[in-house]
Structure formats: structure tokens, C-alpha cells
Amino acid sequence: MTKSKKKRNLFLTVYATIEGEKRELILFKILQDIYLDRKKIKLTINPVHGGNPNFLLNSATRYISFNYNRMFVWIDEDIDLNRDSRETLCKYWCVTDKNTFYSCPLGQLQNRYNQALHNPVLIVSQPICVESLILSLLGKRLPHQHLNSEILKKQKRELKNSLSGVIGSVNEYEYLAAKLTKEVLEEKRLLIPELELLLSMITS
């Protein structure tokens, strides 16, 4: 009689590169707590504190050869990708119309050119930064609807102040975890493309 072999656990592997050392990680932990099935998905997170999207993208693409099922880079809209980074995306996304690709606004790159979700997937918090995304999830009015490079510092400051004013002096994780229930997130994912994209990365 032959011995039965143990059944191997087969995971979907996901590699996440995340900008920011606080708010992105807080929000992502809340999404994991609600949606991530660790019996099916093996998640590796590489938070890169600060920096710029070019550094984050380059950091992520070093691991392309590891053959993760999904890889994504989550950045803000406030700093655009340079030409070298866009050239890298052209390669991995199989883009042929490079001239149009180079001039495409950062927030529209993923939707226009990577519907097949080739690695690395680009997720852009917009308008401007992750505070806009969180305010939208909380159902709050945004002080700015579009990025304006001439007053960008002012826009970022006002968005951060708006969110801090909503949360107040309480623990930020606890506040957001209480507000962002699965029911709320399911409603918001229909309205916020970057949320839908984030959730698609960590669900099977």
C-alpha cells in the first residue's frame, strides 16, 4: 500500500510596496483584517517610508523575477513618475504607444494601460494623496478635488489638516477601524477605483 502524500497548501502570492510610514499602513492593515484570507493568500509587504514613486517602483521591480502572482505599488498622486520609470512600466505592461503613455497623467496610467493587471500594478491615491482617499472613505467633503501644482504644498497641508480634524486626538487606527466596516467598504469600493484595486490585490 502506498503512503498518501500530504496535500500541499497552494497560496496566491502577493508583494506590496507601500508609500508612507503611517496612514497607508494603517488603512492597509484595516483592509487586511477584514478581507485577507491568510489560508489562501501569502502577503509580503515592503513599506518604503517616504521617498518618491520612482524609488518605490524601482524597489518593487527588483522582485519581478520572484514570480509573485500579484505585485502592486501604492503611491500618492503628488509626485509624478519620471521617464525612466515610465519606460520600466512600458516594458512590464507591454505598452506600444509610448509617446502617449509618457504624457498620460499619473492617476490615469493604471486604468488606461494596464487593464490586464500585469505586474507591477500601480495604485494611486488621488486626488493628491492618501488623505483624500481616507476622507472619501469616511464620507467627508474634500477641500481639493484636483491636483494643482502651483499650490500643491498648500493642498497637501489642508488635506492632512482636514483628516486630522476629523480624527481628533483619538487613536487613528482605532478610529478608522470602527468607521470603516466591511459594509462601508463594500459600498465605497463601487465608487472609489483605487479602493477596488487594493481589495482586488488581497482577495482571491
In a domain, residue 122? The reply is yes
pLDDT bin (cut points 50, 70, 90) of residue 2 is low
The gap from C-alpha 150 to its chain's centroid, in whole angstroms, comes to: 25
In a domain, residue 4? The reply is no
In a domain, residue 2? The reply is no
In a domain, residue 5? The reply is no
Looking at per-residue pLDDT, the higher value among 116 and 8 belongs to: 116
Residue 100's φ and ψ, nearest 5 degrees, are -70, -40
**What's the structural domain count of the chain?**
1
Range of the domain at 118: 12-201
pLDDT of res. 49: 72
In a domain, residue 74? The reply is yes
- Across the chain, what does the average pLDDT equal? 94
pLDDT bin (cut points 50, 70, 90) of residue 10 is confident
The DSSP secondary-structure symbol of 164 reads H
pLDDT bin (cut points 50, 70, 90) of residue 12 is very high
Decide: pTM greater than 0.75. yes
In a domain, residue 3? The reply is no
In a domain, residue 113? The reply is yes
Question: Of 18, 28, 19, 12, which is closest to residue 185 (Cα–Cα)?
Answer: 28
Tell me the pLDDT tens digit for each residue of 71-96. 999 999 999 999 999 999 999 999 99
Residue 74's φ and ψ, nearest 5 degrees, are -110, 115
Tell me the pLDDT tens digit for each residue of 167-201. 999 999 999 999 999 999 999 999 999 999 999 99
Q: Examine the pLDDT at 4 and tell me if it is beyond 70.
A: no
pLDDT of res. 33: 97
In a domain, residue 7? The reply is no
CB 39, CB 52: distance < 8 Å = no
